[in-house]
Amino acid sequence: MGGERRKSEKARLRKGINILISTPGRLVDHIKSTKNIHFRRIRWLILDEADRILDLGFEKDITVILNAINAECQKRQNVLLSATLTEGVTRLADISLLNPLRISVLDGHRGKSDPKGRAVPEASPLPAGGEPDSFAIPESLDQHVTLVPSKLRLVSLAAFILQQCKFEKDQKMIVFFSSCELVEFHYHLFLQTLQSRSGAPASGQLPSASTSLKFLRLHGNMEQEERTAVFQEFSHSKTGVLLCTDVAARGLDLPQVTWIVQYNAPPSPAEYIHRIGRTARIGCHGSSLLILAPSEAEYVNSLASHKINVSEIKMEDILSVLTRDDCFKGSRWGSQSHPVNGLLSILEVRQATAGFPERGSPPGPE
């Protein structure tokens, strides 16, 4: 429940349900206004994305929900799930859980294993809150960083997308931006420059772009129906590039994502973990790339202080992919000096036409 008409939700409640999945605010609405909602037979109460629930200010709503359920049902199993264990999450655990145990899903080399070699969750008393010193990161996730001057950020991103999604098979990529405006700008820019179309290429379009290169976008300014359609399309696609804000950083299971690219550094190591958590899921292999300006190099040390280690990919190695594409060679598309200028000139023309600054744009909602 949530994001739909209340009337249709009430109709489903009247018919009876086995599993209810709801946003906190909408459930509180039904508790206050829907007479036929009862909690007498609840056996499980699961609070997912607990840290995000607190970030969005739903602590009072959770209290209302807990009071309503406790009034009708005392015997049940409560579960609180969170990727990070902060002071707020611990406080929420105190009011929602009785004598809780922490179950930590660790890497195979850190935890115990069953006879088949799979990692076994480790149970321990729930500790006091605070920013965690380290995070559980899958062994199958390779983390990378590249330092790129401001002038070459856009062309480096475009080259990396070409490198992974044009010259490699079965690649599925998510690119995170800091605002809805940045998502929209890059989405339309790449549609015009990187995505191939049938027939002769238009002015400013790359003639040899792969027909399998597909771009989608996802952010908070889109209508719910459109977001759902994008989610379904990307979930069922074997390849593609999803440009998005942090609206896609949590709570979405997007199968077979092979690369996570962070074009703008996240505000905290916890947010970094949430973003890269969209790949290397359920034993699959995945990779991530963090794009930083030279002045942001200290961010790598911030990650290292939380035992998040990233290896560097040289910008030159990313840009070298342009030498493999004929459309950046010769006098028409490329420069006589270097093929990087071929893509750079095309992107700069489109960027100037769009009238959108590459850096320093104001942040918007997710």
Residue ranges covered by each domain of the chain: 38-125, 141-354
Integer-rounded Cα Rg, in Å, for the chain is 23
Task: Look at residue 209 and tell me whether its pLDDT is greater than 90.
Answer: no
Identify the DSSP state of 58: -
Residues whose CB is less than 8 angstroms from the CB of residue 275 and which lie 6 or more positions away in sequence, other chains included: 176, 246, 249, 260, 262, 266, 288
Confidence band (pLDDT; 50, 70, 90) for 363?
very low
Confidence band (pLDDT; 50, 70, 90) for 342?
low
Task: Name the pairing type of β-strands 112-113 and 119-120.
Answer: antiparallel
Across residues 85-90, what is the average pLDDT? Answer: 79
Task: Look at residue 276 and tell me whether its pLDDT is greater than 80.
Answer: yes
pLDDT tens digits, one per residue of 4-36: 788 888 888 888 889 999 989 999 999 999 888
pLDDT at 254: 92
Across residues 190-216, what is the average pLDDT? Answer: 62
In 3D, which of 175, 160, 134 has the Cα closest to residue 309? 134
Identify the DSSP state of 361: P
Across residues 268-293, what is the average pLDDT? Answer: 92
Topology of domain 141-354, CATH: Rossmann fold (3.40.50)
More confident position, 76 or 321: 76
| CATH architecture of structural domain 38-125 | 3-Layer(aba) Sandwich (3.40)
- For 172, left (φ over 0), alpha (ψ -120 to 50), or beta? beta
How far apart (Å, rounded) are the C-alpha atoms in residues 224 and 214? 21
141-354 and 38-125 share a CATH fold? yes
Strand segments, DSSP code E, in the chain are 44-47, 77-80, 101-104, 112-113, 119-120, 122-125, 141-147, 172-176, 215-218, 240-244, 259-262, 286-292, 311-312
Across residues 274-283, what is the average pLDDT? Answer: 89
Task: Look at residue 90 and tell me whether its pLDDT is greater than 60.
Answer: yes
Of the given ranges (122-136, 194-208, 300-314), which has the lowest mean pLDDT? 194-208
Q: pTM higher than 0.85, yes or no? A: no
Q: What percent of the chain has pLDDT over 70?
A: 75
